[in-house]
Amino acid sequence: MTNAGGGPSVVVLDYGSGNVHSAAKALEAVGAHVTLTSDRQAAMDADGLVVPGVGAFKAVVDQLKAVHGAEIIDRRLAGGRPVLGICVGMQVLFEHGVEHGHDAEGLGEWPGTVERLESDVLPHMGWNTVDAPADSVLFDGVRDERFYFVHSYAAQRWELEPSGPFAAAKLTWADHGSRFLAAIENGPLSATQFHPEKSGQAGMRLLSNWVRSLPVLAA
């Protein structure tokens, strides 16, 4: 969607998560025309949708469903419209999340379960390197940089078999006691376990890479 600012339109889904404003400011800084809203039509019409997330898996799922976030994400992806999940906004895209022995249902865009990291030191808080594929769009120019993580849970396996119109997902891994998925690029659906908006210049470059990849629709 074209706009007066000239950049792609991005909606940061405002559903009660704690880091929506910092994500919105970071996206604006890399050239996106950002709207912070839970309005369904605005979220559907935007060139890109960002789903941030802070807190417990089940609470984030419940908050998203309260503003029809699950439906918005699903409908956008069905139409090939880009979505970016951040932190718990990545975790809830999986089928299940297990926290404190409780198995909560996720949004089910990807098969698999988000579980506690196998580390003596939790949460995993601070800067860490990642292992990104050479053809990654998100990590173009920042494959050797560090990114900022704050989490105790993560997806530690990739269970989706390639099928349909999209190529095999591009998977980025990191380590903290155990190996876990740090980022995923799967057709129109991308996500990062770390916080790009808190990751300095490397995070800004990653967000810029995503924004520049958005197919801009004419109004």
Block residue for tokens 């809830």: 92
CA distance 183 to 190: 7
User: Does some domain include residue 218?
Assistant: no
| Binned average pLDDT, 10 residues per bin, the chain of 219 residues | 71 88 96 97 98 93 96 97 97 95 94 96 98 98 98 97 80 97 97 98 98 78
What is residue 215's predicted lDDT score, i.e. its pLDDT? 87
User: Does some domain include residue 45?
Assistant: yes
CA distance 193 to 123: 13
Structural domain span for residue 23: 9-213
CATH no. for residue 25?
A: 3.40.50.880
Task: Give the C-alpha distances (Å, rounded to integers) separating 118 from 60, 107, 198, 209.
Answer: 23, 24, 24, 31
* Element housing 86 (H / E): strand 83-86
Residue from 87, 109, 115, 176 carrying the catalytic annotation: 87
User: Does some domain include residue 48?
Assistant: yes
Residue from 109, 145, 185, 197 carrying the catalytic annotation: 197
User: Does some domain include residue 138?
Assistant: yes
User: Does some domain include residue 4?
Assistant: no
CA distance 153 to 87: 10
Is 99 designated active site? no
Residue from 33, 124, 151, 195 carrying the catalytic annotation: 195
What is residue 5's predicted lDDT score, i.e. its pLDDT? 54
Is 195 designated active site? yes
Q: Number of folded domains in the chain? A: 1
Backbone angles phi, psi at 76, to 5 degrees: -60, -45
pTM (two decimals): 0.95
User: Does some domain include residue 2?
Assistant: no
User: Does some domain include residue 124?
Assistant: yes
Is 197 designated active site? yes
User: Does some domain include residue 1?
Assistant: no
